Amino acid sequence: MNINLRLFLIIFAIFWFVLTSYFLKKNKLPVKYSLVWYTIIFIMLILGAFPNILVLISEFCGFQVVASFVVGVILTLMIFITLILTMIVAEQKKKITLIIQELSILKEKIQNEK
Amino acid sequence: MKQNYKILLIIPAYNEETNILSTVKNIKDYNKKNKTNYDVIVINDGSLDNTSKICHENHIPVIDLIKNLGIGGAVQTGYKYAKENNYDIAIQFDGDGQHDVRYVKEIIAPILNKEANMVIGSRFIDKTSSEFKSSFTRRIGISLISSVIRLKTNKKVYDTTSGFRAVDKKVINLFALTYPIEYPEPISTVEVLYNHFKIKEIPVNMNERQGGKSSIASWKNIYYMINVILSILIIGKRVK
């Protein structure tokens, strides 16, 4: 594997690690979700350090270029994360709807009692 | 017998300042003339115009949703209100003058006789009775949805998108708990059928809308249809 790609992978992983830790510290990212990112970063570091694993897997999967394998994996991961986010958003929308409804009914009740 | 029943008309309203007063006034006049006691609750779905102000000034019972929820969320608020206040029958009634209060008596009759849990005021059940004109594509869409519902539930519902419907206490409880926020009319119909409640359709006349906009915009028709059909098929899987 190209040394530049390996370097890029490692630098990117470190950058990502710092970013995730920063948001975690600022309480913007729940610990629950940070674990997913840390796992991904960890895998990236391992692959950057030992590229042979990557070459083996990508050949096994039938990719001709390792780089396109990396892109493919990341893309799959992103789609998966987007799907989960869509579900979380839908769940939140349900809860917000419930709050708006109950609050509005309550407000009407209070106004009537005045 | 009739006096014992508590009956509520749920009127969802989004920017209906031109129609809401006359709609409610018609109902009140009808109550006076026919000695009925239909209660009214307007659900103001975060209107940007004077809908809320008009209701408050004229002492019309109104729930102001603090944010716009769309037709499904607004109507469900009405069902929740009906459940909390122990209503026996809830009727969904449009605020734009499309629905005629004279038909309320007819659509609640099957519920009073225990023939049905839900009654839909239908535009298409009897072709001669209705002069309601809707676009050709819309008719095709409605009949296609109708076919899918029949395929899944063995029940022919002609006017699946009619917003003029009455439900009994059991269905009020169901709707208060769970009501489809998107594409509410056809999907709630299917949910009622999957829960083994009885649906009856009664022919009604509907007026051309006097103002306001349909919740189903014409350019969205195809998207709407695909969504509804997919939802119907999926709800079936969920119940089994």
Q: What is the distance in angstroms between the Cα of B60 and the nearest Cα belonging to chain A? A: 12
* pLDDT at B135 exceeding the cut of 80: no
Spatial distance between the Cα atoms of B62 and B55, rounded to a whole number of angstroms: 7
Mutation target vs B (from A89, A96, A104; most B CBs, 10 A cutoff): A104
B39 SS3 class: strand
The interface predicted TM-score (ipTM) is 0.80
CB contact under 8 A, A101 and B73: yes
Comparing A93-107, B71-85, B118-132, the range with the smallest average pLDDT is: B118-132
Which of the four pLDDT bands, split at 50, 70 and 90, describes residue B214?
low
Per residue in B91-104, pLDDT (tens digit) is: 999 888 888 898 99
| A93: chain B residues, CB-CB within 8 Å | 181
> What CATH number is given for B2-239 in this structure?
3.90.550.10
CB contact under 8 A, B64 and A101: no
Q: Is B73 on the interface with A (CB under 8 A)?
A: yes
Under 8 Å between Cβ of B13 and B64 = no
Q: pTM of the predicted model, to two decimals?
A: 0.81
Spatial distance between the Cα atoms of B147 and B157, rounded to a whole number of angstroms: 8
pLDDT in the model for residue A54: 82
Q: Is A99 on the interface with B (CB under 8 A)?
A: no
Per residue in B148-188, pLDDT (tens digit) is: 888 888 888 888 888 899 999 999 999 999 998 878 888 89
At residue B193's C-alpha, the angle toward residues B189 and B197, to 5°, is 110
Give the start-to-end residue ranges of the domains of chain B: 2-239
Q: Is B81 on the interface with A (CB under 8 A)?
A: yes
